[in-house]
Amino acid sequence: MDLLEIKNVSKAFEQNVAVDDVSMTIPEQSIFGLLGPNGAGKTTLIRMITNILAPDSGSILLKGSPDPKDRMYKIGYMPEERGLYKKMKVGDQLMYLAQLKNMSKSAAKERLDYWLKRFEIEDWWNKKIEELSKGMQQKIQFISTIIHDPKLIILDEPFSGLDPVNSNLIRREIYELRENGATVIFSTHRMEQVEQICENIALINKGKKILNGPLNEIKDQFKENIYKLEFVGALPDMTGIPFNIYEQKEAEIVLQLRNDQSPNDILRYFVERGTEIHAFNEILPSINQIFINQVGGETDE
């Protein structure tokens, strides 16, 4: 079942069309990657989902409801431009932000105690935000995003400024939130993070949706029939080999099939010539390769 439906949504600023007739669905209890280069329209689309902006046309439905008020307290949004009040103390700030999400003071205090303990930062309550490192502020921003148990969590570059230990901590929490029923939209330019975390993705470029679907199906769609064979010993004479040699190293060879060939043809060719094969697998394109190919070399970098 889909949690969020975006139907033919468009948004323009004077003559600049930021989002152009975009439609997509985001499955419930999934981790969804929203990708695109700078200026692609990702931030504008997110701002429409979160009611910061209203679409010029089209509709956005959360659990089938088009009413923006239904999204007000059911979404947690962590923008790339962090929005913490630097002079406020951690505890006061998180209590304030939780109550803005319609939580009672007692419920906010209970949830805040839970998250500070879970992150082992109970002694941060009276620290001012300006006293914290960028990574420490990131933890506070994350807590402020999920403290009200939102059904939909939108994270824009959530690992920015985090060391590997804290990146793994946030990643673990994202999985845990998903397992507990939340749906996560993950916006980033770090393609390796998309490969690790996301199950479904959408690629937007110049305001238009270019790709949308399950990650494994999109990678399969762009595969180029390239296979890696790992072996021991010497290869047979390669003169006249009926495959395209893509790459060759000491103990492996990467081959590309021609249109009328199958993977079994590679195995048969080398087995019949006495090659000792240790591994054989297909090489699928990375999301980074697909991204660059689809946007013409433009990247967020």
Q: Which two tokens stand for residue 184?
A: 């996560």
* Region of poorest pLDDT, from 23-27, 82-86, 169-173: 82-86
CB atoms within 10 A of CB 286: 15
With a CB cutoff of 8 Å and minimum separation 6, the contacts of 206 are 20, 39, 40, 41
User: What's the half-sphere exposure (Cβ side, CA atoms, 13 Å) at 54?
Assistant: 5
pLDDT (mean) for 95-123: 93
pLDDT band at 113 (very low <50, low <70, confident <90, very high): very high
List Cα–Cα distances, 82 to 72, 117, 138, 157, 158, in angstroms: 19, 23, 8, 10, 10
Q: How far, in Å, CA of 150 to CA of 157, rounded? A: 18
With a CB cutoff of 8 Å and minimum separation 6, the contacts of 56 are 10, 11, 12
Whole-prediction pTM = 0.85
Q: 215-254 pLDDT, tens per residue? A: 999 999 999 999 999 999 888 888 889 999 988 888 999 9
% the chain with pLDDT above 70: 98
Residue appearing with tokens 């939580």:
103
Altogether, the residues listed in the chain come to a count of 301
- In the predicted model, what is the mean pLDDT of the chain? 90
* Region of poorest pLDDT, from 62-66, 129-133, 153-157, 190-194: 190-194
Domain spans in the chain, listed from the N-terminal domain onward? 2-219, 224-283
Residue 292: predicted pLDDT:
86
120 pLDDT exceeds 50? yes
128 pLDDT exceeds 70? yes
Residue 149: predicted pLDDT:
94
Q: 2-55 pLDDT, tens per residue? A: 899 999 999 999 889 999 999 999 999 999 999 888 888 999 999 999 999 999
With a CB cutoff of 8 Å and minimum separation 6, the contacts of 36 are 42, 203, 204, 205, 295, 300
User: What's the half-sphere exposure (Cβ side, CA atoms, 13 Å) at 76?
Assistant: 23
Class level of CATH domain 2-219: alpha beta
Residue 201: predicted pLDDT:
93
Q: How far, in Å, CA of 209 to CA of 178, rounded? A: 25
pLDDT (mean) for 149-164: 88
Residue 299: predicted pLDDT:
45
301 pLDDT exceeds 70? no
Sheet of 16-27: strand order equals 16-27, 2-13, 57-62
297 pLDDT exceeds 60? no
Residue 19: predicted pLDDT:
95
pLDDT band at 259 (very low <50, low <70, confident <90, very high): confident
% the chain with pLDDT above 90: 67
